[in-house]
Structure 1
Amino acid sequence: MRTSRAPQASPASRTARRTRRTRRYGAAGAAVLSLALALTLGTQATAVPGPPDAAGGPASAAPDTGIRQYEVTGVRGAPERSALAATGTAIDEVLHGSVLISADAAEAERLRALGYELAPLPAAAAGSGDVQAAAPSDYHTYESMRAVVDAAVARHPDLVSSQVIGRSHEGRDIIAVKVSADVAVDEDEPEILFTHNQHAREHLTVEMALYTLEELTSGYGSDARITRLLDTREIWLIPSVNPDGKTYDTESGAFRSWRKNRQPNAGSSAIGTDLNRNWDYMWGCCGGSSGSASSATYRGAAPESGPETRVVADFVRSRVVGGEQQITAHIDFHTYGELILWPYGYTYADTAPGLTADDRDAFAAVGRAMAASNGYTPQQSSDLYITDGSIGDWMWAEEGIFSYTFEMYPRSASGGGFYPPGSVIDRETARNREAVLILLENADCMYRSIGKEAQYCS
């Protein structure tokens, strides 16, 4: 049992610290697949079908916000997509030769004035009828999510604990759920973190957290693989990083297609910070976020200015014990696009300061193994377009954590976008079971996937 915590190591010592940690954990674990899948372009988010566009065609819209979805034509490669993203526009979906975006009328006109060609998305492409959630009641609310967690703690007190790690802007608890054999003991084992719901409208990710919790607890003692993992790992789940945004997106009884948190911005009537552009690594460096408070990708007034970002970052920093970060691997769940992404997002380069060729190869090998299990597309984050201030880049560069972003179902807007029907929740969360287990099994030595266990993890 650990009895003390040491302060966070300096940036200069992170590489050495990472090597020490992987050596300590590397004695056990199974080899992973390193199947290469063909890289294809995918999506990152979208909106919901709604009333006709002002030009007369159908478009995607949220009734309370006036947000519609448009296709922007003539945007082909990653540099052109990055240039569009640099205007402060949130790219929803990447197609061949175009992209989909969500925008209100003012944003659409601003982009047209910049020379972009926008066409309202046909309703059939945006998802309708039986491919779209009927109502927010298809998903757990923040309150019902808390009830599920509390019930799991009550049923499995030796396996599950829950703690409030901080509060949102509006005062809601942000909770971290720990799952491990002898859960009350802080053991010297690899720790794995799963975060969900940074973006408010991505409710399927909360369902993913609850699925994982149920699968781990129900499998302990009956499933040899899960039992072995819980005996040798400490697993953390943060089911909702953005509880205010989640609540706002659904509390009216209709989806609002809300992305950001609900924090006011000084000097502006615009609300909210994009939490996944608010992390303290390469914040605002590279055109991958917006400095405008009205933008969907507004990066905030400063790194970690979003209280929710700071809560999670402080929790991660608190897991530095004896000078070493105990969290070794991480997935941040988003919707949609069926992608598995790894750092860096701020640069197109495969390697960059703090990310060696071996690091990149280990990221890719485990990422491709996970993708082989769920059918997602594995690729470096910036293959889509440049982002900065993202959680994955921060986790790796600042804390030495192998961090992946999963973009869950659907693959395209035709599957329901942000709001697929409740009938697919069980199927699409279970679809990631094997990928989660692959990461858990490799968390003690990610370099095993490239045959370098002896070098890094002996």
Structure 2
Amino acid sequence: MRITKRGKRTTTAAAILSLALALPLGAQATASSPDTSPGTSGTAAAPVERQYEVTGVSTAEERTALAATGVSIDEVLHHSVVVTADEARAKRIAKLGHELTELPSAAPAEGDFTTSSPSQYHSYAQMTAAVDSIVQQYPNLMRKRVIGRSHQGREIVAIKVSNNVGVDENKPEVLFTHGMHAREHLTVEQAIYTLREFGQGYGQDSRITRMLNERELWIVPSVNPDGKVYDQDSGSWRNWRKNRQPNSGTTAVGTDINRNWNYRWGCCGGSSGNPGSATYRGSAPESATETKVLADFVRSRVVGGEQQITAHIDFHSYSELILWPFGYTYNDTAPGLTRDDRDAFATVGTRMAASNGYRPQQSSDLYITDGSINDWMWGVHGIFSYTFEMYPGSAYGGGFYPPGSVINRETARNREAMLILMENADCMYRSIGKETQYCSN
């Protein structure tokens, strides 16, 4: 019923909270139902947002109801959640009967938190230079394609990686996407790591060599370059999530790209209709420039009436989770998602999670989301699409801004999981013993 303000927590209190984070949830799964409160997110006068722990929230239904206030849910604990909210939305939560405890600012001086500075991560310009350098180093293995431009005109690129890179061969294709949410910079580092690792590994590592001989891999290092630049290039983190596209009739800026996909868009209380919300779904499906660029690229991979991309990972942070569809319904199966489909998702997802220590689960086990890339990939194109929520497991590892010292460790942590997905990409149903039923020629 009240908002409690606390100063810096003791190390012991931080440890207790860290132990409680059995089900941490990062930015990807953040959802918000339509709300009518005013918002000016993205403008100079935008309200200050802080993190709060909200107690007495234990079930997916309760979390979905909480998200209806328009807050961003950052972590899911056993009997509470951590949210990012401005003062107005915090008061709305308090009026619902919840107690909020303001968490200390995620700054290096706080001691309980370990965070980074923007200079510890590749900027958009540095990322572009790094990608170009790697591609030039492996000209027979990699080729860069500009697949479109952001709202502000920056290039969105896809790098093809395959042993016969100049030829569109009849091989299963795998897609990795990164940086959909601006503040999730560790995911862009994941893309750079993967390019380097697969370039160096080809001809040296038997599994990488076989996969690049038998698959065509596409890597999109930054889906949301405008948001990345806005969040990082001022020299101080801005905690920005959306793209930078203005919203007509309001001073609010930006659409949540991961609520803007044309499958069950806005259907089920899993996104916000308020342009000021961090989970604003946009004015229409694919209204965000960057959503349409990536969607058009996926559609371009339909050859002879058949989608060539068979498997996909969308990298996000934070929470150390592996998620699969559907997000729009609590049900394990639904029209277009059979029990065998679900079992293949879960089996491969669980194997990947065993390799990197993440927690595997259906997205809606956390709470409802709609208009997400995973649901669209599977629901429209039949692509086995996962979200990886990367390090850390909680705000006490740096939240959206973990220290640069963890980049090498945490990107390498996903090497095995990526190879597991690629190895299954020719027939995901092999994982449940039904290759003959689904994959025989």
TM-score (norm. length: structure 2): 0.89
Contact 1:127 1:416 in 2 (8 A): no
Contact 1:65–1:256 at 8 Å: present in 2 too? no
Aligned residues: 405
Give me the whole-angstrom Cα distance separating, in 2, the residues matched to 1:124 and 1:294: 23
Deviation at 1:112? 2.8
**Residue matched to 1:407:** 389
Pick the aligned partner of 1:446 from 415, 418, 428: 428
Partner of 1:393: 375
C-alpha displacement of 1:125: 11
In the TM superposition, what whole-angstrom CA distance separates every residue of 1:100-155 from its partner, at most 9, and x where no partner exists? 11112232233334444322014589994495333101100011111111111211
Q: 2:221 is matched by which residue type in structure 1?
A: P
Name the CA shift for 1:453/1:432 in 2 (closer, same or farther; >3 Å): same
One-letter code aligned to 1:105 = E
User: Secondary structure of 1:42's match?
Assistant: coil
Aligned-pair CA distance for 1:87: 2.5
Do the aligned partners of 1:130 and 1:421 also contact (CA within 8 Å) in 2? no
Amino acid at match of 1:356: T
Which residue is equivalent to 2:209? 227
Q: 2:314 matched to which residue of 1?
A: 332
What corresponds to 1:202 in structure 2? 184
Distance in 2 separating the partners of 1:134 and 1:147: 22
Picking from 132, 136, 139, the partner of 1:157 is: 139
Q: Secondary structure at the match of 2:371?
A: coil
Q: Which has the higher contact order (CA 8 A, sep 6+)?
A: 1
State the alpha-carbon separation in 1 of the partners of residues 298 and 110 from structure 2: 40
More deviation, 126-135/387-396: 126-135
Percent of aligned pairs with the same amino acid: 70
Listed as ranges, the gaps of 5+ residues in structure 2 are 1-20, 29-44
Classify the secondary structure of the residue corresponding to 1:147: helix
Per the normalisation by structure 1, the TM-score is 0.85
Partner of 2:264, secondary structure, is: coil
One-letter amino acid of the counterpart of residue 309, structure 1: T
- Compute the RMSD of aligned alpha carbons: 2.0
Give the match's secondary structure for 1:218.
helix
**1:267-310, Cα deviation, whole Å (9 max, x unpaired):** 11111101100000010000000000011110000000000000
Tell me, what secondary structure is at the counterpart of 1:370? helix
User: 1:224, CA displacement in angstroms?
Assistant: 1.1
Work out whether 1:45 is the aligned partner of 2:27.
yes
Q: Secondary structure at the residue paired with 1:41?
A: coil
Name the CA shift for 1:381/1:326 in 2 (closer, same or farther; >3 Å).
same
State the distance in 2 between where 1:247 and 1:132 align: 22
Q: Write the distance in 2 (CA, Å) between the matches of 1:100 and 1:236.
A: 34
The correspondence for 1:377, drawn from 350, 359, 374, is 359
Q: Which runs of 5+ in 1 are unaligned?
A: 1-38, 47-62
Give the direction of change, closer, same or farther, for the CA distance of 1:424–1:127 in structure 2 (3 Å limit): farther
Match of 2:261 among 272, 279, 288: 279
CA distance 1:127–1:308, shift in 2 (3 Å): farther
Provide the secondary structure at the position in 1 that maps to 2:64.
Answer: helix
Deviations 1:162-199 (A, max 9, x none): 01101111111100111001101000000000001111
| Consecutive aligned runs of 4 or more in structure 1 exceeding 6 Å deviation | 124-127
* Structure 1 residues 205 and 223: CA distance shift in structure 2, 3 A: same
